[in-house]
């Protein structure tokens, strides 16, 4: 994987050769933003993501899948920085756009709704977040199977919401289901399986088991 410094050089070259508004330049911006994000440097990633969203809107329009994906990435950054209102607005637009492009049952649509649910929960609207997650899980399970990777992610998110709301039996049951499924499907050493088991073990410890 290229380093931040290498990606900065690539971005500078693309800006020089084809300009800031070219799709290749915007892709280089997003690549750099993703690496900065992964290293926790959100304050540097955000302006790049904002530039990509603006550039893709100008080139392709807001309804284009590449624009929607850039909006989703920016929304995640905004949420991490505490700008929940703007993150929610963007994620609602992404979910609506993906639904218009692909329909209610497409994976990109359901992933967008899952992401929206997390921000809605952080916003304090837990009933709305729960409804979004339950509908997402039901659709993913019906279309792709109950042990689909995205279904398990949404189930883990719903388990966390149950725990937050004091519904411990429901949280235990759902998180255990996620941990068992990931361990069987991916092996006990898989990072997602280990994380799911750690969350379940943490629930047990907090409950005094």
Query: What torsion, rounded to 10 degrees, do the Cα atoms 156, 161, 163, 167 define?
Result: -110
Mean pLDDT on 149-167: 95
Q: What is the pLDDT of residue 207?
A: 76
Q: What is the pLDDT of residue 54?
A: 97
| Residue 157 pLDDT class (50, 70, 90 cuts) | very high
Does residue 1 carry a pLDDT above 80? Answer: no
Q: What is the pLDDT of residue 36?
A: 94
Among the listed residues 192, 162, 167, 170, the one whose alpha carbon sits nearest the alpha carbon of residue 179: 192
Would you call 3 helix, strand, or coil by DSSP? coil
Mean pLDDT on 150-159: 96
Question: pLDDT per residue over 15-62, tens digit each?
Answer: 999 999 999 999 999 999 999 999 999 999 999 999 999 999 999 999
> CB of 59 within 8 A of CB of 23?
yes
| Residue 168 pLDDT class (50, 70, 90 cuts) | very high
Q: What percent of the chain has pLDDT above 90?
A: 93
Question: pLDDT per residue over 63-80, tens digit each?
Answer: 999 999 999 999 999 999
Helices (H), 19-148: 23-38, 42-60, 65-80, 84-102, 107-122, 126-144
Rounded to the nearest 10 degrees, what angle do helices 65-80 and 84-102 cross at? 160
Q: What is the pLDDT of residue 204?
A: 87
Distance, CA of 13 to CA of 15 (rounded, Å): 5
| Residue 206 pLDDT class (50, 70, 90 cuts) | confident
- Residues 6 or more apart whose CB falls under 8 angstroms from that of 111 comprise 150
Element (H, E) at 192: helix 191-206
Distance, CA of 28 to CA of 19 (rounded, Å): 12
- Residues 6 or more apart whose CB falls under 8 angstroms from that of 125 comprise none
Question: pLDDT per residue over 103-132, tens digit each?
Answer: 999 999 999 999 999 999 998 999 999 999
Question: pLDDT per residue over 54-65, tens digit each?
Answer: 999 999 999 999
- Residues 6 or more apart whose CB falls under 8 angstroms from that of 45 comprise 33, 34, 36, 37, 77
Contacts 24+ apart (CB under 8 A), 41-46: 42/77, 42/80, 42/81, 43/81, 45/77, 46/74, 46/77, 46/78, 46/81
Length of the chain: 209
Domains and CATH numbers, the chain: 1-81 (1.25.40.10)
Joined together, the tokens standing for residue 77 give: 């950054």
Q: What is the pLDDT of residue 145?
A: 93
């Amino acid at each position: 994987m290229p380093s931040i410094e290498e990606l900065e050089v690539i971005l500078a070259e693309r800006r020089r050769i084809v300009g800031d508004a070219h799709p290749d330049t915007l892709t280089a911006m997003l690549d750099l933003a993703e690496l900065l994000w992964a290293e926790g440097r959100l304050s540097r990633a955000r302006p790049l993501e904002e530039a990509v969203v603006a550039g893709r809107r100008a080139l392709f329009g807001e309804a284009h899948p590449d624009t929607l994906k850039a909006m989703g990435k920016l929304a995640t950054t905004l949420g991490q920085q505490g700008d929940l209102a703007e993150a929610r607005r963007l994620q609602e637009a992404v979910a609506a756009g993906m639904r218009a492009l692909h329909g209610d049952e497409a994976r990109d649509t359901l992933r967008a709704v899952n992401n929206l649910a997390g921000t809605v929960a952080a916003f304090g609207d837990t009933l709305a977040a729960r409804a979004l997650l339950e509908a997402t899980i039901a659709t993913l399970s019906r279309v792709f199977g109950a042990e689909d990777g995205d279904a398990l992610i949404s189930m883990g998110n719903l388990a966390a919401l149950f725990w937050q709301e004091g519904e411990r039996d429901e949280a235990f049951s759902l998180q255990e289901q996620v941990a068992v499924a990931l361990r069987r499907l991916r092996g006990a050493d898989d990072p997602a399986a280990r994380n799911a088991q750690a969350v379940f073990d943490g629930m047990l410890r907090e409950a005094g088991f």
